[in-house]
Amino acid sequence: MSIDFKKKLPVSVAKPKRKKRKVSIGHYAVNVWLIFWAVLSVIPMLWLVLAPSKTDREVSYKNPLSFASFHGYVRAWKNLQDFNSGVLARWVFNSLTYTVAIVIIASVTASLAGFVISASKIRFKKGFLISTLIMMLVPPVALVIPLFIEMNKVNLIDNPFSVILISSLYPFGAFLSYIYYSNTIPPEIYESARLDGCSDFKLYTRIAFPLSYPLLALLAFFAFVGNWGNYFMPYIMLQSPTNYTLPVGLGALFFSTPAINPGNGATSVPILKPEIALAGILVAVPVMIVFLISQKRLIRGMLAGSIKE
Amino acid sequence: MSQGRLHKPKNLLMIVMLSPYLLLLFLFGVLPLIMAVINVPSKSPANPNGGWHVFKVVLNDFRLVPAMWHVLGFMAIFVPLMIFFVVAMSLMLDANTAPWKKYVRLAYIVPACISGSVAVLLWYVLLEPTLSPFKGLMHWMGVTQAIQIWRTSNLTFILAFMAFFALAGQWILIQFGSLQSISTEVLEAARVDGCSQVQLALKIKLPLIRKYVIYMGVLVFAGGLQIFVEPQLLNSSVYHGIANQWSFDQLSYSLAFDNGNFGEASALSLMLLVPSLIGALIVIFKTDMFEDVTLKSGRKMKKEAQAREAAQA
Amino acid sequence: MLVVATAALLGASLVTPVATQAAIPSITIWVDSPRLPGAQLYAQIMKGKVNVNVQLHAQGDLVAKVQLFNTVKKGWPDVVFGPPNDVAFLKNPLVNNALMLDKLQSPAIWKAFGHGNDWCNLNGHYYCVKNDLAQTVLWYNKTLMTQFGYKVPTTMAEFAAIGADVAKNHPGYSMGPLGDQAAYSSFLESSQCPLNVAKSDTVVVINAKSPKCTRVSALLQPMIDSGVLDVRSPFDAGYIKDVQAGKWLMNVGPSWWGQFVLRPASSYNVPAGQVATAPMPLWAGETKAYSGEYGGGIYTISPHSKFPKEALAFAMFMVGDVRNLVTVKNPDGSHGAPTYPAYGPGNKIWVQAVAKDTYYAQSIVPALDTQAQLIWPGTKPVRYDANGAWGASFATDLAQTKNLQHAIEAYATYTSNAATQVGYAVVSK
């Protein structure tokens, strides 16, 4: 008999109606605490969003959470655009293209790897998992110089592909993928499908792939969030400012202008706190959008229905 | 059921599907690691003849012990805070459903959107009693000047809080997600038995997500051990020199890039790998994360399935 | 993609003059944002003669990346603008990224620097070109000084006397911050306190207990105790807020102080027509009123550069050409290089423009010129981060103990360790 695996699909189960119960003080306290922490989480972002409306002087003088004028945004934006002949737009473009490329390559390779390890009869499963765990734990600082040498050997220094390829190694994703497939598709299903004469190809296309959307969404989410704000590896690999991603460019902006330390530069370059804050909003907004889109998937979790004992 | 016999034509597809990941793993994971290890006994100014006693040179570096104290202090605050807070918050979120909770969850992940130099600017402002939105609270606590906060000795607290603030929200969401996957039959059964919310949370839900909490603990531990970007950025910008080679990774970076001492840097990184590996081994052997699907043979799983069916009968 | 990658690997040039007739020299320049307008202007001017690739980089980038370039043996930029202490690090044979420049231009040009390029003179040879001098002078608020009836101090004793009077009669007014590098450049260096006196590549004098250091603590401690001298950094937001309320009386500060710190609305915001400069006060028993130096960037040229002469020409343009010093347009609308040029002829051009600046109560140039010749030659570039060490040790200690001598000794301990770590022997004389 073939097990109807579709019935085992992760489905959000509506919590059954509870009988009305007394709402306790503890209940209120918990809710208040949850809301309090939510407000606390949002305040820094609020400061960031409101800062460009003020001039640098007003940032110190006025209420930190006050809105000064819309013209502030225009002025800050103009200063950012003027900076180094509008290189900021280039940085945004670079960040978008590199990150999307990384997300695609990383998600696809990691999901395939997880599937293979959970579904196939290849022998070195444990070795794979252990190596994956190790790679997640190695300090990236240790690998910087060897990676730089490697990239140099193939002439990819200061080339976006150096960042894209290196960042596409996604052990966390492979691990996640393995857990997902293992929990969603018990081996009995593969066994019975194989007994029915399914080829490996069909195993993937008919069984695994249709169930992969939640996983791929999750992988894409984590890959995006992890790589969009990545600073160190792109800083090392990319030399020309026109190749920088937004975080690296922001770092260069931050260090080479008198945003914080006027001794470092001159007022001849009008990049101060409001401008840096506006650039910061640019970095934060795409991640916020991705979060908003994916948060439902995150809640469903990739483990839905799996915890039963 | 045949076990482990490679059917060559069939397995080919599997290998092909695995190979892109394996290629990336080899090129950008294994190979650089091997190169780093080979680099360890290389010649350098502090270790002119090369050799494996570079580990001794690392241990004698006057910045190593302070870095150790810094990182240990940081971890002592950061790791328990993360685990406790994340678990508590996700359990609290899960206590009951309410429509506004969706927005609360969204609010929690807002801090994670801010990273790198923007985070440094933000924290410079947040902890500056003249500029901060929280200056009322600070003045009430008697903190009126930045120099009361921003000093090297306070960095363990500042950085722990920075890291916590940036990461907690994401993990709350993840653990909340794992709580959602607890089957409702279990919860209903417990509630019928008369469990209170608190008992439900601590005695039923928490043990069921135990392995995910441990997994988070290991990742948080390893990540904490390798703290680098935040103190490095702080050090080279706003408060110049406040975090000079403050963490292990910063020291390793400085050895490689300031002193040209790649051997020592690699040696230090390898030394850092050891506690992380121990953490990984804990995950592998102390949780049943791996047991579930790798080590159990097919026969064992069939037995368990039969046992489950029998229990439900 | 590979073509793009290879083209992007500028540093050493890819085309030698002999290869084809149309080939021209090609240099890569790394500058930070204040220097960017001048560099871009230079690229424009040299179009067709030299291929100039201008790249914006933070000042610390070269030191961060030079090891990578050395490992793969390519990628070095030809000429880089950086912080003054870097030349020791770059000159180190293990790093080898500061070219000896003596032979690249005529001795007459080197002489025209006067003392301006002394910082770059190591072991009798020039390893960099100094962009600007950051000599300290006494900046004061002329209006307030007249109002309070103070005479401009010419000795440190008079400075301290004014400090005592301010504490008694005009509390709340500031005579200067001591955090960051301010204490060192304003007072310790002028007192010739030996804290980073590199005698050679292997010996450095660090002695916080020298009488030349302790006399500074003795003189200034009462002013710290009374609050007239502030323990915070000059850029501390709290300090800025305190002095913005018209409470800035005077302080010993570098040549760029007026333009970058006193003038901007987001900084001390001193109104126009009040700021003036005077030469450094003299320490008791001395004949020369030395200045310290708080910054003063340099241009270094890579020994791997294929066109060192062209690279040096760029540096000399930045320090001597009127187009960079006076006319180039900056993003905020102002014109010209923002700092006091180290190169004699360039300096003459620059000061003429600055002398016409109506912001100041009177011309600030005479004091700047006097002190430009009196920068204490004791401080030398060293291979450890002497400047970062102020933040790492001194600032915290001073904020906590409020005791200047204690903080100086904390600094000395820290830098002694750092110096030993990179191969110096630390001596006390």
Q: What is the ipTM of this complex?
A: 0.80
Could you say which of B31, B110, B178 has the minimum Cβ distance to residue A303?
B178
CB contact under 8 A, A146 and B36: yes
Name the amino acid, one letter, at A235: Y
The total of structural domains in chain B comes to 1
pLDDT at residue number A292: 80
pLDDT at residue number B56: 84
**Nearest Cα residue to B249 out of B237, B240, B238, B235:** B235
Residue B145: CATH number of its domain:
1.10.3720.10
Is A92 in the B-facing interface, judged by CB distances under 8 Å?
no
Q: Does residue C136 have a pLDDT over 90?
A: yes
pLDDT band at C20 (very low <50, low <70, confident <90, very high): very low
Evaluate whether residue B35 is within a structural domain: no
Ranges in chain A annotated CATH 1.10.3720.10: 86-256
CB contact under 8 A, C232 and B147: yes
Give the mean pLDDT of A40-62: 88
Q: Contacts of residue A261 in chain C, CB cutoff 8 Å?
A: 235
Continuous segment of H or E residues that includes residue B90: helix B64-94
CB contact under 8 A, C56 and A236: no
Q: CA–CA separation, B86 vs B102, rounded Å?
A: 17
The rounded average pLDDT for each run of 10 residues, N- to C-terminus, in chain B (313 residues) is 47 84 91 87 69 82 88 92 92 83 86 83 87 88 86 88 89 83 80 79 81 82 84 81 86 84 84 79 65 43 56 55
pLDDT at residue number C354: 86
* Strand order through the sheet with C298-301: C51-56, C26-31, C79-82, C298-301, C129-130
Q: Does residue A38 have a pLDDT over 70?
A: yes
Q: Does residue C10 have a pLDDT over 50?
A: no
pLDDT band at A226 (very low <50, low <70, confident <90, very high): confident
The neighbours of chain A, by the rule of 3 or more Cβ pairs under 8 Å, are: B, C
Q: Does residue C248 have a pLDDT over 90?
A: yes
pLDDT tens digits for range C353-379:
888 888 999 999 999 999 999 999 999
pLDDT at residue number B296: 39
Lowest-confidence region among A270-274, B299-303, C167-171, C390-394:
B299-303
Could you say which of C94, C236, C388 has the minimum Cβ distance to residue B260?
C94
pLDDT tens digits for range C291-310:
999 988 999 999 999 999 99
pLDDT band at C194 (very low <50, low <70, confident <90, very high): very high
pLDDT at residue number C338: 80
Query: Among A54-63, A135-144, A172-181, C408-417, which range has the highest average pLDDT?
Result: C408-417
Q: What is the 3-state secondary structure (H, E, C) of C138-197?
A: EEEEHHHHHHHCCCCCCEHHHHHHHHHHHHHHCCCCECCECCCCHHHHHHHCCCCCCCCE
pLDDT tens digits for range B161-208:
999 998 898 888 888 878 877 777 888 888 888 777 777 778 888 888
User: What's the mean per-residue pLDDT of chain A?
Assistant: 81
pLDDT tens digits for range B291-309:
544 433 444 445 555 655 6
Continuous segment of H or E residues that includes residue C111: helix C107-112
Evaluate whether residue B237 is within a structural domain: yes
Q: What is the 3-state secondary structure (H, E, C) of chain B?
A: CCCCCCCHHHHHHHHHHHHHHHHHHHHHHHHHHHHHHHHCCCCECCECCCCCCHHHHHHHCCCHHHHHHHHHHHHHHHHHHHHHHHHHHHHHHHCCCCCCHHHHHHHHHHHHHCCHHHHHHHHHHHCCCCCCCCHHHHHHCCCCCHHHHCCHHHHHHHHHHHHHHHHHHHHHHHHHHHHHCECHHHHHHHHHCCCCHHHHHHHHHHHHCHHHHHHHHHHHHHHHHCCCHHHHHHHHCCCCCCCCCCCHHHHHHHHHHCCCCHHHHHHHHHHHHHHHHHHHHHHHHHCCCCHHHHHCCHHHHHHHHHHHHHHHC
Q: Contacts of residue B146 in chain C, CB cutoff 8 Å?
A: 232, 236-238
Give the mean pLDDT of C272-287: 94
pLDDT at residue number B299: 44
Q: How many CB pairs under 8 A join A and B?
A: 337
A86-256 sits in which CATH class?
Answer: mainly alpha
CB contact under 8 A, C395 and B131: no
CB contact under 8 A, A48 and B124: no
pLDDT at residue number C271: 94
pLDDT at residue number A23: 63
Q: CA–CA separation, C371 vs C358, rounded Å?
A: 22
Instruction: Give Cα A298 to chain centroid, integer Å.
Output: 13
Q: Does residue C12 have a pLDDT over 70?
A: no
Q: Which of C384, C385, C400, C413 to mutate to test the interface with B (most CBs of B within 10 A)?
A: C385
Could you say which of B5, B14, B170 has the minimum Cβ distance to residue A200?
B14
Percent of chain C whose pLDDT exceeds 70: 95
CB contact under 8 A, B180 and A149: no
Lowest-confidence region among A24-33, A164-173, C266-275:
A24-33
CB contact under 8 A, C417 and B147: no
Q: Does residue A147 have a pLDDT over 60?
A: yes
pLDDT at residue number C128: 94
Q: CA–CA separation, B194 vs B11, rounded Å?
A: 52
CB contact under 8 A, B130 and C388: no
Q: Does residue C167 have a pLDDT over 90?
A: yes
pLDDT at residue number C81: 93
Give the mean pLDDT of C1-5: 44
Continuous segment of H or E residues that includes residue C98: none
pLDDT band at C2 (very low <50, low <70, confident <90, very high): very low
Could you say which of B45, B239, B240 has the minimum Cβ distance to residue C94?
B45
Q: Under DSSP, is residue A288 helix (H, G, I), strand (E, B) or coil? A: helix
| Distance from the A305 Cα atom to the nearest Cα atom in chain C, whole angstroms | 47
pLDDT at residue number B115: 78
pLDDT tens digits for range C393-406:
898 899 889 999 99
- Ranges of H-type helices in C280-403: 308-320, 322, 344-355, 365-372, 388-389, 395-401
Chain A residue with minimal CA distance to B10? Answer: A200
Q: Does residue A278 have a pLDDT over 60?
A: yes
Q: Contacts of residue B121 in chain A, CB cutoff 8 Å?
A: 254, 259-260, 273, 276-277, 280
pLDDT at residue number B278: 81
Give the mean pLDDT of C108-135: 91
Q: CA–CA separation, B109 vs B115, rounded Å?
A: 12
Evaluate whether residue B230 is within a structural domain: yes
Q: What domains sit in chain C, N to C, each tagged with a CATH number?
A: 2-130+297-338 (3.40.190.10), 136-293+357-427 (3.40.190.10)
pLDDT tens digits for range C30-40:
998 888 889 99
Q: Does residue A130 have a pLDDT over 50?
A: yes
CB contact under 8 A, B121 and A273: yes
pLDDT tens digits for range A280-303:
898 888 888 888 887 766 666 544
Cβ atoms within 10 Å of B299's Cβ, excluding its own = 10
Could you say which of A55, A263, A270 has the minimum Cβ distance to residue C260?
A263
Residue C30, Ramachandran bin (φ over 0: left; ψ between -120 and 50: alpha; else beta) = beta
pLDDT at residue number C154: 95
